[in-house]
Structure 1
Amino acid sequence: MRIETYPDFEMMAINVAQRICGDLKAALDSQDRVLLAVPGGTTPGPIFDDLCAADLDWSRVDIILTDERWVPGDHERSNTKLLKERLLVNRATDATLLPLYVATDEPEEGLPQLIPGIEARLPIAVAVLGMGADMHTASLFPDSAELDAALAHNAPALIPVRPESQPEARITLAAHVLNGALHKHVVFKGQDKRDALDKAMTLPPQDAPIRAVLDGATVHYSEN
């Protein structure tokens, strides 16, 4: 793990977008198609705003969320909605979005339709990950009863989770899928999360899930 610190978030967003672009271009030199995994939430939005204009062959890029709420793609709580508005625009309209939702009441009913297509595209070429102050990443939450299943080395690519702290059921890429990405960028801002990372380094993944994906990762941290 390597930590890079930035004085402000705007500078970090620009640099991370450039790094992702460089990693994708390098991967495209040796592969017909590459997989980019990205988080939802508010933090990656400015990164997406820069990345969507990158000059690369987006027609050979598949994009997947690291996790998603089990809600339709046009729902106000959907991370897919954010991607369509801020990443799958400009030059990146040529990319292919891999869905993480099908119209079933519960995620367990829909996963058999989703997992084969995702596993066929692994490994992830570039994974962009966030981290919460509770040391979660993707939907690997420390208060989730399904965390051990998501941390298992033989877990399927997608795991349904129902964290006590979250209002909806979710699905998340398994820890080994995220950790197996060829390039990993963990992005966050604020002293509270910097303190959380330091704490995470003293704990096992069962208490600090971010620990499960830090092997070889670059951590990008903005003070403001």
Structure 2
Amino acid sequence: MNIQEYADRDMLAIDVANQLAGDLETALLHHDTAALAVAGGTTPGPVFDSLCAADLEWDRVHVLPTDERCVPQDHDRSNARLIQERLLVNRAATARFLPLYVPATEPEDVLPEIEAMLAPELPISVLVLGMGEDMHTASLFPGMPGLMAALDHDAPPLAVARPETQPEARITLTAPVLDGAVSKHLVIYGAAKRNALERAMSLPPEDAPIAAVLGGTTVHWAE
């Protein structure tokens, strides 16, 4: 893991977008397509605003969320909505989007279908993660039911997360898929998250899920 510090969030967004574009370009030199897995939430939005203008063969890039709330895509809590509105525009409008949420009575019912769609995309070429102050990443939350199974080295690609702190079920990439990405980036802002990251470095993944993916990750931080 290495930490890159920035004078402000605007500089971070521009520099991270440039690094991601370079990573994608490298992946496309060696493969027909590149898989870009990105976090939702508000943190990556400014990065997306810059990345979407990158001069890439976007029609060869497949974009997916690292996790998704089980809500329709037009819902204001949908990660897919943020990705569509902030990343899959401008030059990036020709990228292919791979949704993790498929309407179903129970999300477990459609996991095999989604995993079959994801199988050709693995390992992920470029990964962009966020982290909460509780040290969760994607939808791997400390203390949630099923966390240990989702952290296991032999975990399937996807897990259903039902954290007690959240209002809806989620579908998330599991730790081995996240950690197995070729290029890994973590974007965090503020002193509280920087402190949380430093705590996570000395904790096991069951207490700090972000710790499961820090090896080889570039951390981008601004106040």
**Equivalent residue runs for 1:7-156 within 5 Å:** 7-156=7-156
Equivalent residue letter for 1:67: D
Deviations for 1:30-63, whole angstroms, at most 9, x for unmatched residues? 1001100000000100000000000000010000
- Structure 2 residue runs of 5 or longer lacking an equivalent are none
Aligned residues: 223
Tell me the SS of whatever aligns to 2:121: coil
Deviations for 1:121-174, whole angstroms, at most 9, x for unmatched residues? 101010000011000100010031111111011111110010011110001001
User: Do the aligned residues in 2 keep the contact of 1:70 with 1:106 (CA within 8 Å)?
Assistant: no
Q: CA deviation at 1:105?
A: 2.2
Tell me the TM-score normalised to structure 2 length. Answer: 0.99
Q: Matched residues in 2 for 1:171 and 1:88: separation?
A: 21
Tell me the TM-score normalised to structure 1 length. Answer: 0.98
Q: Matched residues in 2 for 1:106 and 1:169: separation?
A: 9
Q: Matched residues in 1 for 2:157 and 2:172: separation?
A: 8
RMSD of the alignment, in Å?
A: 0.7
Tell me the SS of whatever aligns to 1:110: helix
User: What's 1:205 paired with?
Assistant: 205
Tell me the SS of whatever aligns to 1:185: strand
- Structure 1 residue runs of 5 or longer lacking an equivalent are none
Give every structure 1 segment of 4 or more consecutive aligned residues whose post-TM-superposition deviation is greater than 3 Å.
Answer: none
User: What's 2:196 paired with?
Assistant: 196
**Equivalent residue runs for 1:160-199 within 5 Å:** 160-199=160-199
Tell me the SS of whatever aligns to 2:30: coil
Q: Matched residues in 2 for 1:195 and 1:82: separation?
A: 27
Q: Matched residues in 1 for 2:197 and 2:121: separation?
A: 30
Tell me the SS of whatever aligns to 2:72: coil
Q: Matched residues in 2 for 1:172 and 1:37: separation?
A: 11
Equivalent residue letter for 2:76: E
Q: CA deviation at 1:73?
A: 1.0
Deviations for 1:86-141, whole angstroms, at most 9, x for unmatched residues? 10100101100011111102210111211111022101010000011000100010
* 1:159 is the counterpart of 2:138: no
* 1:219 is the counterpart of 2:219: yes
Q: Matched residues in 2 for 1:15 and 1:83: separation?
A: 19
User: Do the aligned residues in 2 keep the contact of 1:143 with 1:165 (CA within 8 Å)?
Assistant: no
Q: Matched residues in 1 for 2:45 and 2:105: separation?
A: 29
Q: Matched residues in 2 for 1:211 and 1:124: separation?
A: 19
Equivalent residue letter for 2:59: S
Q: Percent identity?
A: 60
User: Do the aligned residues in 2 keep the contact of 1:5 with 1:220 (CA within 8 Å)?
Assistant: yes
User: What's 2:5 paired with?
Assistant: 5
Q: CA deviation at 1:84?
A: 0.9
Tell me the SS of whatever aligns to 1:120: helix
